[in-house]
Amino acid sequence: MAVSRLFKRFCGLHKANARIQACPPGYIHRRAFSDSKVFNNGDDTVLPVLIVGAGPVGLVLSILLTKLGVKCSVLEKSKTFSKHPQAHFINNRSMEVFRKLDGLAEEIQRSQPPVDLWRKFIYCTSLYGSILGSVDHMQPQDFEQVVSPTSVAHFSQYKLISLLLKQLENLSFKLCMSNKLEGLNHRPFQERQLLMGHECVSIKANDEFISVTASFLKDGKHMERNIRCNIVVGTDGAGSTVRKLAGIDMRGKRDLQKLVSVHFSSRDLGKYLLSERPGMLFFIFNTEAMGVLVAHDLKQGEFVLQIPFYPPQQNLEDFSPEICEELIFKLVGRELSDINVIDIKPWVMHAEVAEKFISCGNRIILAGDAAHRFPPAGGFGMNTGIQDSHNLAWKIASVVKGIAPSSILHTYETERRPIAIFNTELSIQNFKAAMTVPAALGLDPTVANSVHQVINEGVGSILPSGLQRAILDGIFTIGRAQLSESLLNEKNPLGSSRLANLRRIFEEGKSLQLQFPAEDLGFRYLEGALIPGTDDALGAPEGPTGHRRDYVPSVDPGSRLPHMNVRILSNSSSEVTISTLDLISGDKIEFLLIIAPTDSSYHLAHAAFKVAEEFKVSVRVCVLWPAGSVKQVEAGSKALLTPWENCIDVVDVKMSSNPSSWWDLCQMTDKGAILVRPDEHVAWRVKSGVVGDPITEMRRVFSATLGVKLHNNRDQEADR
């Protein structure tokens, strides 16, 4: 899908209760010389970062920023957090991010259902009926932690939000309800607040700050308060108010499918599935109903049923709790005595990416669903958003702390927007893969959508609404007749052929997939806050296929640093084994230089320390020794790196499942070096040693990565 990068100017009113005053004419052009005034003004009445939207993306960003020492607060339109499970699959890369959040990944792994209860997708005629096939989405290597120090997880979004709120509480955030606030416009807005029931309704920008107006209800009256901030980050979901206020359009495919989501509980159903056919997703096809059941927690009996929805012939009243119960019983294959329908929500599936992620002189930023919305196939929505936050946090912190100019924020768009476009395509491919199963059974979903379109927009639109509804219902009934037991069995030639085709789809991995290791861990930034390798094959990356592909470790610039277990070398008798990803700090803006114990690499490390001081940024040096060389390490590298002390010696830990050395894994010699950014992505690497002056090279690297022009000491200070 070609997603055009169109840029449009801010415009006026977008909806009755929301407004924006655009940056003044010429404002963006004047931004270059006023970074210190806008972003580092020392004004305590101006909050450095305001995050609009308290979903997982906004909460993760607030945690990351706070840990990096950036003052921030969060606005949330809703008065309470939803208990609707929503997203539930957390991929490897997001779990790696969570490992840096004070044990969050470990808590998720302890709290989630055992993997054997959710590793399969099951296709059946009803939950008590015949199984048409099943797909196991976990492979042996997924449990060996060869490519990542952690595993994927199945954990409902509302449970994740609960854990994130605990993290914020530990960071001294205060949860504030709108009806309990006093003196709203008579004191500066404080940091570390999560304001519930506050809707962003306007954004005004001037040379010194951005003013955000939040509307809320207090004692039955609508009230407003103004919040001054340097940066606004919109993490307020697919219908983002911040995006609309900024006049940023979405580009892509709209209205791929309309559905109704039914959240219900039944411990009896959960108990049955636990013992008879545990799985994560159940695709159910029979003559009375069709739907996809998401088993969020079999032990608790918590489920969400997704049902196709065809308005205006159908409306939400057609999905009352009583009607939904009947639908559930048809899909289960029997009645449930303890069923409890908790919530019913319509939603629309889109595949769109915002035309830009940054606006207003790098001070209005979009992340998560506000910047991109995908089909849920593959679970890319929340995961892509979490990785947006991880990319963005260290860059915002660099600007707020005066390490980098605000232009570094534009590299967030440069890096993340192509990933969003790619993941949109991958989600569409995976959604199409999901449609191969009903198509194999004689139920081509495109036919139903085409008929619905003809009824709405073609000759059918002139018919009375009741007749339109009858035609649609009749077509669906005829379609579901393809699923009758008399037709769909091995004795019927047509049914036998369809079942054989279905088995072939499952065996060849052409149905809906859960894991995409090559994309989850192997995504790469081709340009941005990095130095592209001179010997890289920088052609267009291989397009998405919708099929699972293995991750291939790479240290090409822009890639995520590969995982390998290493053991810390120290004078103590204890042996501590960590991941290479653990060498990067999550609590400060710090780059990591990985070298081997060679003379030329030690000279490079000296240069890196000196240049980092010039750029007022921290760097840590990791000297990675080959396995079996521990006896050669005496005083370690500290003596050779004096006077600098921020260094660590580690040694390869060989595993039977991965016998390669670190430098072999990276396809480099031990004369090479790797500089890693605070977000664990490679900023620069040299495969076999630096040619020329190491200090000159390090200045080039840090200048390009941070966006700081360094001519001489005087110019360096001016550029800051």
Q: How confident is the model over 282-308, as pLDDT tens digits?
A: 999 999 999 999 999 999 999 999 999
User: Do 286 and 322 form a contact (C-beta atoms < 8 A)?
Assistant: no
Given pLDDT bands bounded at 50, 70 and 90, which one contains residue 467? confident
Q: Is a pLDDT exceeding 70 seen at residue 12?
A: no
- Of 72, 91, 28, 56, the closest CA to residue 423 belongs to 91
Q: Which of 140-144, 421-425, 683-687, 709-713 has the lowest mean pLDDT?
A: 709-713
501 φψ region: left (φ > 0), alpha (ψ -120 to 50), beta (else):
alpha
Cα(28)–Cα(12) distance, rounded to whole angstroms? 18
Given pLDDT bands bounded at 50, 70 and 90, which one contains residue 15? very low
Q: Is a pLDDT exceeding 80 seen at residue 502?
A: yes
Residues present in the chain in total: 720
Span 329-334, average pLDDT? 97
Tens of pLDDT, residues 40-58: 556 788 999 999 999 999 9
pTM for the whole structure: 0.91
User: Do 197 and 222 form a contact (C-beta atoms < 8 A)?
Assistant: no
SS3 state of residue 695: helix
Given pLDDT bands bounded at 50, 70 and 90, which one contains residue 22? very low
Task: List phi, psi (to 5°) of 203.
Answer: -135, 125
Tens of pLDDT, residues 66-84: 999 999 999 999 999 988 8
pLDDT of residue 529: 97
pLDDT of residue 30: 28
CB neighbours of residue 323 within 10 Å: 14
Given pLDDT bands bounded at 50, 70 and 90, which one contains residue 28? very low
- Burial label for 717, CB within 10 Å (0-12, 13-18, 19+), is exposed
pLDDT of residue 10: 24
- Of 678, 681, 684, 676, the closest CA to residue 700 belongs to 684
Tens of pLDDT, residues 180-214: 665 445 456 789 999 999 999 999 999 889 999 99
pLDDT of residue 478: 85
pLDDT of residue 23: 45
Q: Is a pLDDT exceeding 90 seen at residue 456?
A: no
Q: Is a pLDDT exceeding 90 seen at residue 172?
A: yes
Span 387-393, average pLDDT? 98
- For all residues of the chain together, what is the average pLDDT? 88
Cis bond before residue 308 (omega within 30° of 0)? no
Cα(38)–Cα(399) distance, rounded to whole angstroms? 10
CB neighbours of residue 17 within 10 Å: 12
Given pLDDT bands bounded at 50, 70 and 90, which one contains residue 422? very high
Given pLDDT bands bounded at 50, 70 and 90, which one contains residue 457? confident
pLDDT of residue 29: 28
Which of 116-130, 140-154, 208-222 reaches the highest mean pLDDT? 116-130
Place of tokens 């304001």: 195
pLDDT of residue 112: 96
Q: Is a pLDDT exceeding 80 seen at residue 336?
A: yes
Q: Is a pLDDT exceeding 70 seen at residue 254?
A: yes
Residue predicted with more confidence, 36 or 524: 524
397 φψ region: left (φ > 0), alpha (ψ -120 to 50), beta (else):
alpha
User: Do 169 and 62 form a contact (C-beta atoms < 8 A)?
Assistant: no
Percent of the chain, pLDDT > 70?
88
SS3 state of residue 410: helix
Given pLDDT bands bounded at 50, 70 and 90, which one contains residue 407? very high
- What is the 8-class DSSP label of residue 541? P
Tens of pLDDT, residues 633-658: 656 788 899 999 999 999 988 876 66
CB within 8 A of 362, min separation 6: which ones? 31, 406, 407, 409, 410
Span 534-560, average pLDDT? 79
- Burial label for 229, CB within 10 Å (0-12, 13-18, 19+), is buried
- Of 284, 306, 307, the closest CA to residue 294 belongs to 306
Cα(48)–Cα(367) distance, rounded to whole angstroms? 17
